[in-house]
Structure 1
């Protein structure tokens, strides 16, 4: 059946065109994505990378931070850095701090996640209690821990109550015990984060695989080692990278609890930078330490990033 168009009648619009200028004009009127990312671009490029470049420039100066005529010393600050025993002490403390805290936090996080994935009463309450230290500000908790681990503090009182009074000592005033105390505080604070991430990762493991393993007679330990642990390996690598970078820039707990002492026993790269730049006014030298910290963080992120990519393949 043929159709005819009456004279003077408007012809039907062609496909792809609409009145009012069509979609092409409407598409032109929409802004592109640049205005949305411009603030973040300005902050990251204009502030972050400028600050890194300026710190690199400062690291070539002998400067107290206020003098109008700083002296250029080239790479002398870096040469001094590698011969400074305090720098090596801070680096050793940082590496040891990372190894111990990450290992213990990983073990406790996996244990708590496995336990709370089982049928246990008041599981929600336990999750809140485990995660609660993560949201507490270090500035609030530092005076509490100074009191707890003082010579006459509550920790020694508990040891006396348990009949272990011979172990009582000034925990924060001794080089041999100050660093382990800071490790214990950090483990208490950040185990909740490991637990939450492991708990979420374990929820992604196929329950049918676990049921099949139980039917085949696999013990809980075998299921943990052969199924659960490989299933959360990617989470472990990500947490290792975060813990390594976090250890490199650790500042708040050591500074607020021990001020890096006694005798630099709890000196970290972060506290070392602050000590050199603010109290001692060695701003150029502190800039060299900051650049070394940045390079170490980049290397660690690169290593763990490559390890994670190889695991995903």
Structure 2
């Protein structure tokens, strides 16, 4: 052994501490247990999340206007009974279901197609990727006034229709029950398709090129390759996007509130906007808390259902 090697080995041995070696029976570890490391996070989670959930459940059994000094009257399950008999509540759930189906389908199809195009030989692909993804990072509060101006009765969208000879189709888009919901869904699709595109693009990047080459050798065309090979390999990403889509639909608030104010006549009412209206504007904190508990139950149930579907798709 050379002198340099002996010096390195000697220095390494001299730096060893007794605590680093194997412990003997009955010898205490010099390092604290794992509980000490997770206590801060555990206290934060329990204190701010689970306590808030429990307090919301407690408030849902009260008739209270939200002011600390105001008296509150226990009403038991009356808020839940009123919620199940409330047509606006069920209308909001129906809007959430329709919203999820339309937006998820559109985002999945557009994002998948864009990802497939970006994986082909196309000029200025990095520029197109940025253009597609930019809406995802824009705050809805900054874009809502723009969309209100675009779809206003005297907005630019009606102006374009009139300019191309389709003036008969012009209408106040934000004032119609159906068209207002269509506008909300279009804004959401425009905003979140970039995220869908990025995830599908990453999933396609994991596909072995040899598989695609073998498909081309067997005479498979582009459409058949995408449908029979690429899409099945991206199915896990689609399920993950479905989970995010369900949770996002249940939590939808910013776009319908900022663009349509949940109107007209509750045409774009969602659970989030209804909770805000009931709690902040009408000061019915107990009833709003009951709707919040229902929203939590729906989110947990949807998450469990999507997780089960994901496991079944992985097994198949």
Question: TM > 0.5 between the two?
Answer: yes
Which residues of structure 1 form unaligned runs of 5+? 1-12
Partner Cα separation in structure 1 for residue 309 and residue 278 of structure 2: 35
Which residues of structure 2 form unaligned runs of 5+? 1-9
1:101-140 matches, within 5 Å, as 101-140=103-142
Match of 1:172, SS state, is: helix
> Which of 165, 178, 181 is the aligned partner of 2:180?
178
Q: Deviations over 1:19-66 (max 9, x none)?
A: 654525999444554454333322211100100000000111111111
Partner Cα separation in structure 1 for residue 269 and residue 295 of structure 2: 14
Tell whether 2:54 aligns with 1:57.
no
Q: Name the residue aligned to 1:94.
A: 96
Partner Cα separation in structure 2 for residue 232 and residue 244 of structure 1: 19
Match of 2:149, SS state, is: helix
Q: Name the residue aligned to 1:192.
A: 194
- Cα drift, residue 159 of structure 1: 1.1
- Cα drift, residue 18 of structure 1: 7.5
Q: Deviations over 1:103-149 (max 9, x none)?
A: 00000000000000000000000000000000000110011111111
Q: Name the residue aligned to 1:252.
A: 254
Q: Deviations over 1:47-86 (max 9, x none)?
A: 0010000000011111111154211111111111111111
Q: Name the residue aligned to 2:5.
A: none
Partner Cα separation in structure 2 for residue 292 and residue 29 of structure 1: 48
- Cα drift, residue 89 of structure 1: 1.0
Q: Name the residue aligned to 2:20.
A: 23
Match of 2:306, SS state, is: helix
Q: Name the residue aligned to 1:262.
A: 264
Q: Deviations over 1:253-305 (max 9, x none)?
A: 11111111100000000000000001101100000000000000000000111
Normalization by structure 1: what TM-score?
0.91
Partner Cα separation in structure 1 for residue 184 and residue 173 of structure 2: 10
Partner Cα separation in structure 1 for residue 38 and residue 126 of structure 2: 39
Partner Cα separation in structure 2 for residue 189 and residue 162 of structure 1: 27
Two-structure CA RMSD over aligned residues (Å)? 2.0
Partner Cα separation in structure 2 for residue 283 and residue 290 of structure 1: 10
Q: Is the 8 A contact 1:59 1:286 kept in 2?
A: yes
Q: Deviations over 1:161-217 (max 9, x none)?
A: 221111111111111210000000000000000000000001111111111111111
Q: Name the residue aligned to 2:46.
A: 45
Q: Is the 8 A contact 1:17 1:23 kept in 2?
A: no
Q: Would the alpha carbon gap of residues 287 and 22 (structure 1) be closer, same or farther in structure 2, given more than 3 Å must change?
A: closer
Partner Cα separation in structure 2 for residue 24 and residue 55 of structure 1: 51
The worse-fitting range, judged by mean Cα deviation, of 68-77 and 120-129 is 68-77
> Which of 283, 286, 289 is the aligned partner of 2:288?
286
Q: Name the residue aligned to 1:8.
A: none
Q: Would the alpha carbon gap of residues 81 and 32 (structure 1) be closer, same or farther in structure 2, given more than 3 Å must change?
A: same
Aligned pairs, how many? 299
- Cα drift, residue 17 of structure 1: 10
